[in-house]
Structure 1
Amino acid sequence: MTGKDIRRAGLSDLRRMKESGELRPPIKAEPAPDLPDDFWDDADVINHGKPKEAISLRVDPDILEFFKAQGKGHLTRMNAVLRSYVDAQKSKASRKA
């Protein structure tokens, strides 16, 4: 979006714009389908280039063992799964707004 696409409007302006059809309703998205069992088979870890913050995190032992069993980089993969979830939730929230 460029600067010329941005306008200021008060509540009364927005109500008038909505009534006159100038504002479009948000797109109603279909619910996400169930993912197939092999969904993550070809997934790649993407580094977003931002520095990580060190924390202490408690996870279930089987979760940790699952990621460790995949070899070196288990914490990076765990972060990638969390990143995927956060991005999906943000995308879903922006569609609702």
Structure 2
Amino acid sequence: MKKSNVPSATPWSDPDDAPEITDVWVAEADLYDGEKRLRRGRPPKVQPKEQVTLRLDADVLAAFKKDGEGWQTRINAALRGYVQEHRS
């Protein structure tokens, strides 16, 4: 059982003992539509990216990585440009 699903050690006997409901508590609470738990965060993408394993020459990879974060996105953009230029 997840830590968040473990029942509290001492049940409340007095409703006035209940903790105050704060904005933080509401923001972290799970949302339900009937029995179905609703996902939080971004909705799923219509065309999600696909994970692949790709072997690249070390110098090519180093050239993309030297500019820092986002190197995978830059490789994707370079491949996309190639595909668009070479479509029949």
TM range (shorter): 0.3 to 0.5
Find the structure with the greater CA-based Rg: 2
- TM-score (normalizing by structure 1): 0.42
The structure with the largest helix share of the pair is 1
Higher relative strand content = 2
Bigger relative contact order, structure 1 or 2 (CA pairs below 8 A, ≥6 apart): 1
